Structure 1
Amino acid sequence: MLRKFYLLFFFIVAVFSSTLKVKAQEYSLIAAAGQKVYVPITATNVKGKMNITNYGRPAINNFDYTLSFNGTELYSKHYVLPQALNRYDDATIEIDVPPYTELGEDELIFTITKVNGTRNNATVNYSTLPRVTVTKVPHRRVVVEDYTAMWCRYCPRGIALMENLAHKYGDDFIGIAVHTGRGYEPLYCEDYAWNIAEIKNYPTLTMNRSRILSSYIAQTEFEEERSKGAYMDIEASAMWDKEKNNITVTPRVTFRLNRKEAPYGFAYVLTEDGMSNPRWAQANIESGNTEVRGISSELDYFVDAASTIYNLKNNSVAIAAEGVKNPVTGKITAPIKADEPQSHTFILQNISNKSMIQDKSKLSVCIFLINTETGYIENATKCAISDFNTTGISSLSQGEGRVVETARYALDGRRITAPQKGINLVKFSDGSVRKEVVTQ
């Protein structure tokens, strides 16, 4: 009897150990929801990104997956990882994403079927990949609003972050330095007063009004934000009147897919670069702070500077603004048609009354397109200001070879110097002519 008991005991132990061994070798590779990918309808495919994580015990060297849409498998592939994925490790992979046959948004299903040649035992072995089929991929720019002040000794870290992004990303970065401190801050922007009232700590830096930046540099955050893409392209021109008192701003927005609704508003911000004064004193807590040395050359400047910096050059300073609290709506009309530009004019008035302006030649106009449902900035642009009676686009981002507007005509063939409500015929520097719907 005792012998039978021991035989039964050893049998149970053997079965249990075998089960543990099998369980230990089970593969579990899970994918998170993919990042939205924009695919031109004329393209064969573009690269989409998926994040995968190994929740099993064995290392993973390769896997098989399928990509499906509406229950139909588009393709299946074998993927070899550049290096083994150990337990709880994750990786971002690129997969081919084809366009749909029509413009619009949908979701693909990414399913991991096999891992190292055997079945994937993940409880959920699939995830979604948002796809946007467009006529062309829009150019996304990123806005950072820095709430700062000369009296704020912590604010140099924000100034350094802004300068670092400007130097690294050029025209893809649109910075707005919002100085606070009514009555004693020489660069205080009255038009941002309502936004300033909501700020509790300085500096506060918001990226596209969708996330707060907290570190000394934000290159990772910037690239993540830019990679989210946009539904539309936005460009603009700006022109002084004869007296250089008012600025006529002409944004032009071109969506790259059809949309039934238009929940969008605009904000217009006038900024100036290179503002300085020998009497201005910037407090600087980073003076001598060797712990942050080497993070960026822009931050190193403040480490090496005195605790009070006189005559500091201030860039991207907000001088005047409209729509930064409540966006200006009614400028984009629905339904939106792909590749049909919509433009309007907006006048920034009485600029000469802004006594803080130092050099009108260093002024620029920034235009934000804001989603009024989320409050987030979906795209933006920045342009220089041309003298009265010129007609070319004066975008700061235009470079040699860039196609720009050279002339504009009413539908009856009459040449006009600014957009007029209705259908305009716009001629560009490459010789092309395009119809443009002006809503206001």
Structure 2
Amino acid sequence: MTKRLLHFITLLFVMLTTMSLNVAADTYSVAPSQLQPKVTVTPSDEYVNVPIRLTNWGTNPVSQITYTLFDPDTNETSEPINMDFETPFADNLDVNIPIKPGTKIGESDVTLNITHVDGHFNEVTIPYTMITRSTVLQAPKKRVVFEDVTGLWCQYCPRGIAIMEYMERIHPDDFIGISIHDDAMRTNAYTELMSKWTGRPYITFNRYEKVNSYTGEGEYYMAMNQTASFDINVKANFDESGNNIIVSTDVLPCLPTAENDKYEVAYVLTADGLKNDKWVQNVAAGEWDGIEGLPEEYAPFLGGVSQVSGLTFNQVAIASKGVEYGVEGSLTAPYTVGEMQKPTVTFENISQHNLIQDRSKLNVCALIICSTIDPNTKAVTKTVIDNAAKCRVGNDNSETGIKELTDSADSAITGYYSLDGRRLNAPAKGVTIVRYANGKTIKIQK
């Protein structure tokens, strides 16, 4: 054996041995999800848990991680925090990270950094993620709006019908559905938008994106994860004539808003329980047959049928006010946090709407429309629904969302705050925000 060959064999042996040692060596590597979750907290909260998915890229199941939290409000990093797992995880694990309220009202990104895994330095490439924290004086009640442009002639529109009915059943308190018909139930409520929203069915959630799933669940939770800047309450009643509907809204700004965002309230009158023997829904025969996990609302459209009659149509848009951008002037800038605004509108001459079959099944939906304005051209570049509320039309003052504070005995004061969110020991000179035990806030002048 030549000296050169012996040298080559020796080098090869060393390389193989090194590779073997590297493969055999334990690695400690845990990464947090990069989806950047959002959380809303109030100054009175001790903390709010934020779900984070952890992924173990190491060689062994993980029993403990150590992490820190960097708070941009205070510019401080927490002491290392240990999180132990009774059952070590080898792949993915969902955990809750407690997030404290910020020292300022508004949004800030808290940095979660996983520093150690089972006592060893975390070797993962990206060990950190951001958590968007919204600190608000009052947490808004978040609701999601689905708008479905549909038609009896449209064979693929049963998907939208099923989604809207399913969401109403599963999320009755957090879902608001509006069905816009391009058929015998067509009205002028959405004339401005129907020509822009092409293709049928056209289902949108909060005007972010289209709903492309079979249930709408994923889109619903995506929208619910977005922080609302406003809380809203609506009530609607017939006037004494019985031919006009008076609509009152309470809109409470909860977060500072962007300079180029304009907010207005849109109103949509909808009707439930509409029936007509002549209304026959076309169906794409077999389109949804064999799909696993479909909700029961698809049942009428399965089994190879091509038409379905006898359906009851709900959430049908009858009339609207400012449906595209909101009613001009309904909200006044600046939208001061904690300062209630009370826009009102009237739906007049209800008897003109022949589509209405039962006045006890009328609803009013109030949508807070956020329009982003280009600072140079002043043109609207984007519109989304920030939040919404819905109520039955009647004479019982039934309402959803926030209510005005009353001087009841159980409304104990829990804190005083300045307009920029700083906690005070007592009301200060000028305007002070008072927070009560039931979560309500008012402004007082001293």
- Which range, TM-score by smaller chain? 0.7 to 0.9
SS at match of 2:95: strand
**Structure 2 partner of 1:412:** none
Specify the alignment match of 1:135 in structure 2: 137
Q: Distance in 1 between matches of 2:173 and 2:125?
A: 45
- Who is 1:241 aligned against? 239
1:334 aligns with 2:333: yes
Please, what is the CA RMSD of the aligned residues?
3.0
State how far apart, in whole Å, the 1-side matches of 2:80 and 2:283 are: 57
Query: Is the Cα contact below 8 Å between 2:111 and 2:131 reproduced in 1?
Result: yes
Q: Secondary structure at the match of 1:377?
A: strand
Determine the C-alpha separation between the residues in 2 that align with 1:363 and 1:314: 13
Aligned mate of 1:15, from 11, 18, 22: 18
**Cα drift, residue 240 of structure 1:** 2.5
**TM-score (normalised: structure 1):** 0.81
Deviation string for 1:225-263 (max 9, x for gaps)?
224342221001223233333322211111234557562
- Aligned-residue sequence identity (percent) comes to 32
Q: Which residue of 2 aligns with 1:383?
A: 391
Partner Cα distance (1:12, 1:41) in 2: 59
Within a 5 Å distance, the mapping from 1:94-113 to structure 2 comes to 94-113=96-115
1:394 maps to 398
113-122 or 329-338, larger mean C-alpha shift = 329-338
SS of residue in 2 equivalent to 1:357: coil
TM-score, with structure 2 as normaliser = 0.80
Distance in 2 (CA, whole Å) between partners of 1:6 and 1:308 is 78
Report the Cα distance in structure 2 between the residues aligned to 1:404 and 1:101, rounded to whole angstroms. Answer: 26
Q: What code does the residue aligned with 2:237 have?
A: M
Match of 1:277 in 2: 276
> Which residue in 2 is equivalent to 1:415?
none
3-state secondary structure, aligned to 2:393: coil
Tell me the SS of whatever aligns to 1:162: helix
Check whether the contact 1:26–1:121 (CA below 8 A) recurs between aligned residues: yes
* Superposition deviation, residue 112 in structure 1: 0.6
Q: Distance in 1 between matches of 2:54 and 2:266?
A: 39
Give the drift of 1:118.
Answer: 1.2
Other-structure match for 1:63: 65
Which residue identity does 1:237 align to in structure 2?
K
1:171 and 2:173 aligned:
yes
Distance between the aligned counterparts of 2:113 and 2:303, measured in 1? 53
1:320 — aligned with what? 319
Q: Match for residue 151 of structure 1?
A: 153
Contact 1:109 1:126 in 2 (8 A): yes
How many positions carry a matched residue from both structures? 398
Distance 1:323 1:288, change over 3 A: closer
Q: 2-side partners of 1:289 and 1:132: how far apart? A: 41
Give yes or no for contact 2:146–2:177 (8 Å, CA) kept in 1.
yes
Give 1:78 deviation, angstroms: 1.9
Q: Cα distance 1:15–1:304, how it changes in 2: closer, same or farther (>3 A)?
A: closer
Question: Can you give the 5+ residue segments of structure 1 that lack an aligned partner in the other structure?
Answer: 408-429
* AA in 1 matched with 2:172: G
After TM superposition, the structure 1 stretch with the greater mean CA deviation from structure 2, 270-279 or 329-338, is: 329-338
1:122 and 1:233 map into 2 onto residues whose CA distance is 41
SS of the residue corresponding to residue 198 of structure 2 reads: coil
* CA-CA distance at 1:58 after TM superposition: 4.3
Alpha-carbon deviation of 1:115?
1.7
State the match for 1:210 in structure 2. 208
Q: Which deviates further from its counterpart, 280-289 or 119-128?
A: 280-289
- Structure 1, residues 379-407: CA drift from partner, whole Å, max 9, x if none? 101112235xxxx6322x48xxx967999
Measure the CA separation in 1 of the matches of 2:406 and 2:18.
Answer: 82
Match of 1:351 in 2: 350
Residue 91 to residue 211, structure 1, CA distance change in 2 (3 Å): farther
Inter-CA distance 133–378: structure 2 relative to 1 (3 Å threshold): same
Structure 2 residue corresponding to 1:74, chosen from 72, 78, 82: 78
Q: Residue 249 and residue 405 in structure 1: after superposition, are their counterparts in 2 closer, same or farther (change >3 A)?
A: farther
Tell me the CA shift for residue 363 of structure 1: 1.1
Quote the offset at 1:97 in angstroms: 0.4
CA distance, structure 2, for counterparts of residue 28 and residue 171 of structure 1: 38
Q: Identify the residue that residue 198 of structure 2 maps to in structure 1.
A: 200
Distance 1:377 1:126 in 2: 31
Query: Deviation per CA, 1:250-302, whole angstroms, max 9, x where unpaired?
Result: 11111234557562122111100000011211112357954137521111233
CA distance in 1, matches of 2:335, 2:114: 37
Q: Secondary structure at the match of 1:252?
A: strand
Greater mean alpha carbon deviation, residues 190-199 or residues 238-247: 238-247
| Aligned positions of 1:226-265 closer than 5 A | 226-259=224-257, 261=259, 263-265=262-264
Shift of 1:127: 1.6
Q: Aligned pair in 2 of structure 1 residues 7, 369: CA closer, same or farther (>3 Å)?
A: same
Residues 433 and 385 of structure 1, relative CA distance in 2, 3 Å threshold:
farther
What CA distance in whole angstroms lies between the structure 1 residues aligned with 2:155 and 2:360?
30
Q: Which amino acid aligns with 2:361?
A: K
Q: 1:313 to 1:123 in 2, by over 3 A?
A: same
CA separation of 1:324 and 1:84: change in aligned 2, threshold 3 A: farther
Query: 1:372: how far off?
Result: 0.7
Q: Is the 8 A contact 2:37 2:130 kept in 1?
A: no
